[in-house]
Amino acid sequence: MNMTQSLGMNFARTLIIGNSGAGKSWLAERLAKRQHVPWIDLDRVHWICDEHSIARPRNEALAIARVAASEEYWVIEGVYGWIISELLPQATTLIWLSPDDGDCVAQIRQREARRDADDKWLIELLEWAGSYRSRAGSSGFKVHQRLFQGFSGSKLQLTNRAEITTFINALPPR
């Protein structure tokens, strides 16, 4: 689907997936505001406290995500394929942000510029984002690609910041 066709998509229940630093939160916030729907960041579902990497028990995270996805309208974004796969049947649209890993790393560096370069959390996040295309597990490129290819609803893949910005700017308000 190209950008022009995306204007006819049903954004009532939109999932946005992609690497850390890809622009998921940026896009989700703007799409949710434009559509006047809630925005759910799966980092807030998965992590009890992400600064200290304390994950919520898996069954609790899934329960929270399922409740959010049971609503009539939403934008949900995240990297966690194991949660996304549970929510796909409720989604009307899937957007996959897949910029190059290096672009994601650069975006994180810019976003986290106030952090000390030796900050352990930042170093781990940069390594995580830089490994998206080679990363095993449900939060890597291959799983996101499989989720995207298998989704039968409306879907759109955006591969760089310019495409993401053009997409959101082209959408009329709901």
- The pairing of strands 13-18 and 93-97 is parallel
Could you read off the pLDDT of 42-66 as tens digits, one per residue?
A: 999 999 875 667 889 999 999 999 9
What pairs with residue 97 in β-bridges?
A: 18, 158
Between the alpha carbon of residue 117 and those of residues 101, 112, 126, the distances in Å are 19, 9, 11
**pTM of the full structure:** 0.92
Residue 4: predicted pLDDT: 43
Q: Spell out the alpha helix ranges (H) of 18-160.
A: 24-35, 42-46, 58-69, 81-87, 101-111, 120-130, 141-150
Question: What's the order of all strands across the beta sheet hosting 93-97?
Answer: 39-41, 74-78, 13-18, 93-97, 154-158
Could you read off the pLDDT of 96-118 as tens digits, one per residue?
A: 999 999 999 999 999 988 888 78
What whole-number percentage of the chain has pLDDT above 70? 94
Token pair belonging to 21: 């630093």
Residue appearing with tokens 């009532």: 12
Could you read off the pLDDT of 10-37 as tens digits, one per residue?
A: 999 999 999 999 999 999 999 999 999 9
| Domains with residue ranges and CATH for the chain | 8-165 (3.40.50.300)
Could you read off the pLDDT of 71-97 as tens digits, one per residue?
A: 999 999 999 999 999 999 999 999 999
